[in-house]
């Protein structure tokens, strides 16, 4: 899912996981309609991992280790299994040495990685990731992708993600692309068609436009 700042990507994802209530229409996920009933919502939510755009909306425990274990403990897994999953996830996101740190004492990128680890321990069937690669260095992006690809291979999960970066749309999105503008879906089709859609390209702008502006300074 892509679109410019303020186009409605995060809002749509929040609707999908039941964090926002639609003013009209219904949302179906795993063929079940999202309701406001807390118990029923939890039944659906426990198979979904939702990565917030801002990790500070996600992390709240005193230590990274506790934070990452929170979701797994909510699933009522035995403590042995929780510890095993937490260690695996900490290792996967390369934060083992920071496990006793408070989220407050980690960098933004490290917090984003910790937030991802918190989803992994729940072994979700559907991952909904809001800007999973924004603000991360290349090595962290590489690590994130490696983990996500492993998950996809082992557990046959589905991933829905938002990004401004067409690199990920072009090379990582399997097939389907949705483009939002001003709260409306203006393109819904294959990635290939989307990337060649003139309306989409005009709305998005490009590095070429930016480069042209920079070059003008040197004329
Ligand atoms: N509950 C809501 N009801 C209606 N409009 C909302 C609601 N929450 C946010 N908005 C508005 O929707 C617009 C889209 O915001 P949103 O955060 O979804 O954009 P975004 O595409 O994720 O942008 P960014 O790329 O900056 O993350 C904003 O103008 C915001 O003020
Ligand atoms: Mg957003």
Name every residue whose Cβ is closer than 8 Å to that of residue 72 and which is 6 or more positions away in sequence: 81, 82, 85, 86, 121, 122
Does the pTM surpass 0.75? The reply is yes
CA of 182 to the centre of ligand 1 (A): 9
Rounded to whole angstroms, the Cα distance separating 197 from 190 reads: 10
Lowest mean pLDDT among 83-97, 143-157, 181-195: 143-157
CA of 78 to the centre of ligand 2 (A): 35
Q: Identify the pLDDT of residue 6.
A: 96
| CATH for 88 | 3.40.50.300
Q: Which tokens is 94 given?
A: 């390369």
Number of folded domains in the chain? 1
Q: Identify the pLDDT of residue 219.
A: 61
DSSP secondary-structure letter at 208?
H
CA of 201 to the centre of ligand 1 (A): 21
Q: What is the mean pLDDT of residues 8-18?
A: 94
Question: What is the chain's mean pLDDT, rounded?
Answer: 91
Other CB atoms within 10 Å distance of the CB of residue 218: 5
Q: Which atom of ligand 1 is nearest to the CA of 23?
A: 3
- Residue whose C-alpha is closest to residue 3's, from 116, 127, 132, 169: 169
pLDDT of 76 above 70: yes
Q: Please count the residues of the chain.
A: 219
Q: Which domain holds residue 130?
A: 2-216
Rounded to whole angstroms, the Cα distance separating 93 from 120 reads: 10
Q: Which pLDDT band, with edges at 50, 70 and 90, does 34 fall under?
A: confident
Q: What is the mean pLDDT of residues 117-139?
A: 93
Q: Identify the pLDDT of residue 152.
A: 85
Q: Identify the pLDDT of residue 162.
A: 97
Question: How does pLDDT run across 134-181, given as a tens digit for each residue?
Answer: 988 999 899 889 888 988 888 788 999 999 988 999 999 988 999 999
Write the residue with the smallest CA distance to atom 12 of ligand 1. 8
Rounded to whole angstroms, the Cα distance separating 49 from 154 reads: 16
From the CB of 204, is ligand 1 less than 6 Å away? no
Q: Which pLDDT band, with edges at 50, 70 and 90, does 187 fall under?
A: very high
Q: What is the mean pLDDT of residues 54-62?
A: 94
From the CB of 53, is ligand 1 less than 6 Å away? yes
Q: Identify the pLDDT of residue 55.
A: 94
From the CB of 11, is ligand 1 less than 6 Å away? yes
């Amino acid at each position: 899912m892509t679109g410019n700042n303020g186009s409605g990507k995060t809002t749509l994802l929040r609707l999908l996981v039941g964090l926002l209530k639609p003013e009209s229409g219904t949302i179906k996920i795993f063929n079940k309609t999202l309701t406001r009933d807390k118990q029923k919502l939890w039944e659906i939510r426990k198979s979904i991992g939702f990565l917030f755009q801002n990790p500070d909306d996600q992390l709240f425990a005193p230590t990274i280790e506790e934070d990452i274990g929170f979701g797994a403990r909510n699933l009522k897994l035995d403590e042995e299994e929780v510890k095993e999953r937490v260690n695996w996830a900490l290792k996967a996101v390369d934060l083992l040495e920071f496990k006793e740190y408070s989220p407050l004492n980690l960098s933004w990128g490290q917090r984003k990685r910790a937030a991802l680890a918190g989803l992994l321990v729940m072994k979700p069937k559907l991952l909904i990731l809001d800007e999973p690669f924004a603000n991360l260095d290349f090595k962290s992006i590489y690590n994130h992708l490696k983990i996500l690809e492993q998950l996809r291979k082992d557990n046959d999960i589905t991933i829905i993600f938002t990004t401004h970066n067409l690199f990920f749309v072009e090379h990582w999105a399997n097939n389907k692309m949705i483009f939002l503008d001003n709260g409306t879906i203006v393109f819904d089709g294959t990635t290939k068609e989307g990337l060649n859609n003139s309306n989409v390209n005009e709305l998005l702008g490009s590095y070429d436009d930016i480069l042209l502006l920079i070059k003008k300074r040197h004329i």
